[in-house]
Structure 1
């Protein structure tokens, strides 16, 4: 059941039957076991057990903005994730926050930290620490380079293959953050923690663990604040915004993007600014506001045109290439078409931009380390544009190209979007020979495709 550290015996079970309250996480595990056995949800209360009060590390997003608490919360949450990685345990203990419950706590990201604090602790407190730093400069550089490797794995293989490795590395970093470091080292460690937590959130999002993803994003933002890296914080907020669009909350997505733009207005590179404008356009598109969407698309293009090799872009934004810019803008137009009742006007706008994105991602995918998942997602996007333009034959031809990619990339987003596109094509054009063939091929490929590496379901 994913909790090998827990064991029991008949005498302990007898005590539970006599009324003894087992400690966490046993009530949650029992609930999962009975739910699987009976094929319906059996809550903890249904078993006659009490739901334990959950610490902030496993509930809610309104967390204290202070270094020591951030370290503790990341450590507890990553440990829980590693121990109870199955969706039935950690996943059901979380709920996805939205609206003011999400936005208002995130706004405190901009509140200045008290002066004289290094990594959330005063210099005097840091000096009293009993654990002396054991981290050398080369080791810290190796930690930072490891994140680059993890990102490449995610882009090539999807979030399901290496997520636990990222979470494990994050947990190790929280151990290092409990030691005494000079302020520059402490800030770099918090930056590492922020990037790892964001990546753990992104991978969780990719495989459908939405509440878990949001929790990591929130913890990442807290770590970024301790590092003093405003652009990193804006990037984390953009990931949260993308998730809100995915779950149908574009208004929340827009609030998060505006917060990111305001917070990084004086420090973000043109590439980061372009990415934020592109996400703003996605939010406006899903809200059905075409004029504001067009304006944001234009601002994204203008900002991207200002990118230069010497801008000093951090590794986390280097994914935002010309291919990614075209992909985001094409999806904005495609989303406008959906919101406007499958409008052919917006679908026509999306078509050439989506073709360009697919062309560029295809070139990247042919190279070692190319973004396989992005290529697959944009092929699916192009297939949906063909459907919007009532071109089922072209849709089927493009969607067929995704099938081998979907088998290699462990991404629930790819699998779900491909299934939805194929189902729509079969429903609307089920007599077209190319669509019939696509449906048959997809049934074989998706049935035999590997899972994401963790027990997940669509959200």
Structure 2
């Protein structure tokens, strides 16, 4: 429970109101108010105002605790709506970039993809410098299937890379900006699938920031944009994002519906391995960002497991055939040269915790620990700290107790 959520609950209870009574005095449902008070939803200014009006008292000290807004109300919807407007040629035709410049940009994109998760020197600054230099030229290109269209797509991929690397270091404003730049360039190029892939990255960012409503809005917009052209892999990614958002806000029926659809798409995608396209590279990056997490918030608070765990366990109890696919256990393996095997094992273990399978989770972490020792200051150690946090509810299980002790000793040295 967050401090501001606790304060809202205290104020309500001091007035002698139940959640149902508060729901009758506001425009919010009982489950919604409960999620505000427990921290499952981010409390915003309009929520505090609603409590003040319903209770007839001032809660002005709480406004100072509200998260800083990065967007004005309705700004996100307006930005997304602009992507759906008809494309208007800006002029410039094929002559904006030479074949040599296009080839160099394509090589830069592939080079940056391979290094974007580097622990030492990711090429973020170089990619951003290219974008800042060339965005004015890109914005003058007309939609085209020729060189101009390909140049726009390469610019979109570089912007997607810049966004992912910005999110990686928690520069959230830059990440949001570059995801939107990527979507706009791809949309101008007439590539709805690449547009949707860029928006999927933005949706993931909002979910990680505790903004599930915004994440859901972006994912739904992406689904609409690519409704006629999305591959099974893209459809699966978008459905998974929507399921995650529904799971965080506690909408069990919608969570299970989207999970079932994501499962169908995963099975279809497994029968058709992805091609090496900008869309597929973007989706691989999205999968990696989910696995790795931002690098500056160690140890994580483990909120995702806390919020999604109940939904996944209900899924296991009612529709067990969906549980494995819901976690993407049948997805394409992640590149071993980018992600340490210990990272993959630890991430799988965290998922089994959400499934309520502590013994299997402990087994996987036990396999990861021997190779994690030499890298205890790395992302692998960060994910081990996540596991330590998220496994508290199973601390009395002997296997979990043993690995928690080892993780605590390992990470305490760094």
Normalising by structure 2, we get a TM-score of 0.63
Residues 358 and 225 of structure 1: CA distance in aligned 2, closer, same or farther (over 3 Å): closer
Residues 344 and 284 of structure 1: CA distance in aligned 2, closer, same or farther (over 3 Å): closer
- 1:434 and 2:408 aligned: no
Alpha-carbon distance, 1:96 to partner? 2.9
Alpha-carbon distance, 1:394 to partner? 4.0
Give the match for residue 15 of structure 1. Answer: none
Alpha-carbon distance, 1:257 to partner? 1.0
Residues 286 and 175 of structure 1: CA distance in aligned 2, closer, same or farther (over 3 Å): same
- 1:174 and 2:135 aligned: yes
Matches within 5 A, 1:97-136: 97=71, 100-114=74-88, 117=89, 120-121=90-91, 135-136=97-98
2:230 counterpart SS class = coil
Could you tell me how far apart the structure 1 residues matched to 2:374 and 2:213 are? 33
Instruction: Report the count of equivalent residues.
Output: 324
Task: Tell me if the contact between 1:163 and 1:200 (Cα under 8 Å) persists in the aligned partners.
Answer: yes
Could you tell me how far apart the structure 2 residues matched to 1:358 and 1:287 are? 26
Could you tell me how far apart the structure 1 residues matched to 2:387 and 2:305 are? 17
Task: Tell me if the contact between 2:183 and 2:195 (Cα under 8 Å) persists in the aligned partners.
Answer: yes
- 1:207 and 2:169 aligned: yes
Deviations 1:83-141 (A, max 9, x none): xxxxxxxxxxx963376222222111001023xx2xx23x6xx79xxxx75x4324413
Task: Tell me if the contact between 1:224 and 1:230 (Cα under 8 Å) persists in the aligned partners.
Answer: yes
Give the match for residue 49 of structure 2. Answer: none
1:268 counterpart SS class = coil
Alpha-carbon distance, 1:258 to partner? 1.0
Residues 375 and 290 of structure 1: CA distance in aligned 2, closer, same or farther (over 3 Å): farther
Task: Tell me if the contact between 1:109 and 1:222 (Cα under 8 Å) persists in the aligned partners.
Answer: yes
2:329 counterpart SS class = helix
Give the match for residue 224 of structure 1. Answer: 186
- 1:315 and 2:315 aligned: no
- 1:303 and 2:265 aligned: yes
Could you tell me how far apart the structure 2 residues matched to 1:285 and 1:393 are? 25
Across the aligned residues of Structure 1 and Structure 2, the Cα RMSD in angstroms comes to 4.3
Give the match for residue 388 of structure 2. Answer: 422
Normalising by structure 1, we get a TM-score of 0.58
Alpha-carbon distance, 1:250 to partner? 1.2
Give the match for residue 307 of structure 2. Answer: 338
Matches within 5 A, 1:15-414: 96-97=70-71, 100-114=74-88, 117=89, 120-121=90-91, 135-155=97-117, 157=118, 161-174=122-135, 177=138, 184-307=146-269, 314-318=277-281, 338-339=307-308, 344-346=313-315, 352=324, 357=329, 361=333, 364-365=335-336, 369=337, 371-372=338-339, 376=343, 379-383=346-350, 385-386=352-353, 388-391=356-359, 393-394=362-363, 397=366, 400=369, 403=372
Higher relative contact order at CA 8 Å, sep ≥6: structure 1 or structure 2? 1
Q: Which runs of 5+ in 1 are unaligned?
A: 1-93, 329-333, 448-459
Q: Which runs of 5+ in 2 are unaligned?
A: 1-67, 292-302
Could you tell me how far apart the structure 2 residues matched to 1:315 and 1:304 are? 19
